Chain A
Amino acid sequence: MIDVIRELFRFLSQDPLSVEDVISRVGPVVNDPGAPMPIELQPVLSGVRAANLDRYPDNGLPYALTIELAPGARVTAAALQQAFGDYERLHTDFGHPPEIIFYPPAVGSRWTVAVIAKLESAAVSLDHQPVTSLSLRRDPVEP
């Protein structure tokens, strides 16, 4: 699974990248209610059971791809750490599972991709928690 995630990370870092490119890579459209609501995709990726694509409201370019991992494909936070470096815990509201964020170095010249992982629970050390879903957020590199 970690290879699929790495591959998506590299794919989303590329420029140019259109919504159509992401759809071709991840899976066909199930529902598109229009931005800022995400496009629901039917993922064809191994280990991914749901996928949503958000677009930048101003130019319609791909903003964030969120994938929900199948129970058998849930990597741990530690596995992501090996792939993307150190993480920081994000603030989450009462009743929500913990989330962590990785800021891997950019692999392209125009876009960086932050990796946001939702974990199963805060019950034990976060490192060992399985990741239930992942959002790959595209940010333009500052001029």
Chain B
Amino acid sequence: MYSLIRRKFASTSKEYSASAIGTIVKSGATPTKVTPRAKDMSGENPTRVRTKRQRQGGSAFTDNTAQIHVIRRKPTKAQIVKALEAWNRSIARAKEIQQFINKKNSAEEFARYMQQKPGAQPDLTGVGEKVILAGFAAAMIRTQILWPKMPLNNRLKLIEWDVNKALKLASVPNLFSFKAEKMDGVAGYFQSALWKFGINKDFVLSPKLSDDVAAELCDTGMHESRHAEQRFLAACYYAGQNPKISAYAVAQKLHIPIAIAQAAVAKKFNTTTDPKVAARGKKMYDAFVTNGKENQKISDDCYSALLKVKSAQIEANKAKDAFNATPTDATYADAITKDDNLKKANAEFELLYKKYRNIPYEEEAHEVGALAWQAFKDRSSGLPAIAMGPPSQESTL
């Protein structure tokens, strides 16, 4: 057990070796609650230190001299080592989180995800049909071969052609817009209001399409295609609710182009619709429209939490480096505070990310993306020979 020493912070020696670590308590109106960092260090309960005035029944630090005190507790070398390890772990976890967001659908991650939901099976209808996923993966092998000889526009055209082919096979209207854009940490997106697929330009700039990048392209291509399918099914469901509804009303409700809404009205759900497809349409309508605001908030909050992880990681790194360079009371205390902040940011993100992944449209799209990734990785086991690519391009490029 370490003895508690309370003294003025402005001590003559700030050298770490000659001092102990504790909580800085600023006098004045600030209460004397001691942060639980003592528990982090020793595993004991947080220590609550009471001033003389408190022990006498009064409130703490009612004078206004603004003196700063340190409640000291001397850590052993082993504890310092342990603290350093803990800081490194928090920082490593923050890095993992950021890397995971950029490459979120690895087969390992998908397997873990499915194990967390015993009995859960991915929906393999529509774009998720095995034949479509495997066909898309097979087409990617063709794209890999042609890639080095193709200019950027042709690479894009080939990917777009394969995405549209997959959508057509799933009876979903083709894209109205397909564009490579500079994106920060995002692989792609589907924008329903323009019926547009935006893809990260980095994908197509590389002179060679590596296996890893090709697998990521399969993932992104099918993930975003799934979003297009979901929006279309939601529109078909909504159109089926009122036989006399106009395409204009469907377009405004689902925020899609009128031409897509017209296709949804033409395919509106009725009594002959496959019950599984009808149920998916309702589920997606609920997720996009009925619970749209709540689901959007989850996505927004989750992204804010990711930004907090990034900034907390930078701060924790700085504090750790400062302690390593100058191991004093102040740098140690600061490193502990910043590590606490980072741990909280990591935990908050992980909680919100689970919620995000449980949003019905994200859950489905991640599943399908991961399965496409897996289909490409498993290509050596044989893929169905589906003509996905445009023969004219293949022969001329």
**Residues of A near any B CB (own CB < 8 A):** 31, 33-34, 36-38, 52, 54, 56-57, 63-64, 88-96, 98-99, 101, 103, 112, 114, 116, 122, 135, 137, 139-140, 142
> In the complex, are the beta carbons of A99 and B157 less than 8 A apart?
no
Residues of A within 8 A of B178 (CB): 36-37
- How many angstroms between the C-alpha atoms of A72 and B51 in the bound complex? 56
Binds A, one of B5-13, B39-47, B296-304: B296-304
Residues of A within 8 A of B184 (CB): 95
B59, CB-defined interface residue at 8 Å = no
**Shortest CB distance B314–A (Å):** 18
Inter-chain pairs besides A37-B157, A37-B179, 13 sampled, C-beta below 8 Å: A33-B157, A37-B160, A38-B179, A89-B293, A91-B255, A93-B227, A96-B189, A98-B300, A99-B193, A122-B300, A139-B251, A139-B258, A142-B258
Q: Using A33-B157, A142-B247 as known contacts, say yes or no to A93 and B189 having CB atoms under 8 A apart.
A: yes
B288, CB-defined interface residue at 8 Å = yes
> In the complex, are the beta carbons of A116 and B193 less than 8 A apart?
yes
> In the complex, are the beta carbons of B177 and A64 less than 8 A apart?
yes
**Residues of B near any A CB (own CB < 8 A):** 101, 153, 156-157, 160, 164, 174-179, 184-186, 189-194, 196, 227, 246-248, 251-252, 255, 257-259, 288, 292-293, 295-296, 299-300, 302-303, 306, 356, 362
- How many angstroms between the C-alpha atoms of A57 and B260 in the bound complex? 12
Q: Using A33-B153, A36-B174, A64-B194 as known contacts, say yes or no to A95 and B160 having CB atoms under 8 A apart.
A: no
Q: Using A37-B153, A94-B302 as known contacts, say yes or no to A137 and B193 having CB atoms under 8 A apart.
A: yes
Residues of B within 8 A of A64 (CB): 176-177, 194
- How many angstroms between the C-alpha atoms of A103 and B252 in the bound complex? 8
Indicate the member of B184, B190, B299 with the most A CB atoms within 10 Å. B299
The B interface is mostly helix, strand or loop, or mixed, namely: helix
- How many angstroms between the C-alpha atoms of A116 and B194 in the bound complex? 9
What is the total of A-B residue contacts with beta carbons within 8 Å? 97
> In the complex, are the beta carbons of A142 and B248 less than 8 A apart?
yes
Q: Using A37-B157, A140-B258 as known contacts, say yes or no to A63 and B176 having CB atoms under 8 A apart.
A: yes
- How many angstroms between the C-alpha atoms of A33 and B204 in the bound complex? 14
Q: Using A52-B179, A54-B177, A57-B176 as known contacts, say yes or no to A91 and B192 having CB atoms under 8 A apart.
A: yes
Residues of A within 8 A of B175 (CB): 36
> In the complex, are the beta carbons of A89 and B296 less than 8 A apart?
yes
Residues of A within 8 A of B247 (CB): 142
**Shortest CB distance B384–A (Å):** 26
**Shortest CB distance A39–B (Å):** 11
> In the complex, are the beta carbons of B194 and A101 less than 8 A apart?
no
Residues of B within 8 A of A56 (CB): 176, 259
- How many angstroms between the C-alpha atoms of A54 and B176 in the bound complex? 8
| Nearest residue, chain A, Cβ from B307 | A95
> In the complex, are the beta carbons of B157 and A54 less than 8 A apart?
no
Which 6 residue pairs are nearest across A and B when measured between Cβ atoms?
A33-B153, A139-B258, A54-B177, A94-B299, A36-B178, A95-B186
| Nearest residue, chain B, Cβ from A98 | B300
> In the complex, are the beta carbons of A96 and B186 less than 8 A apart?
yes
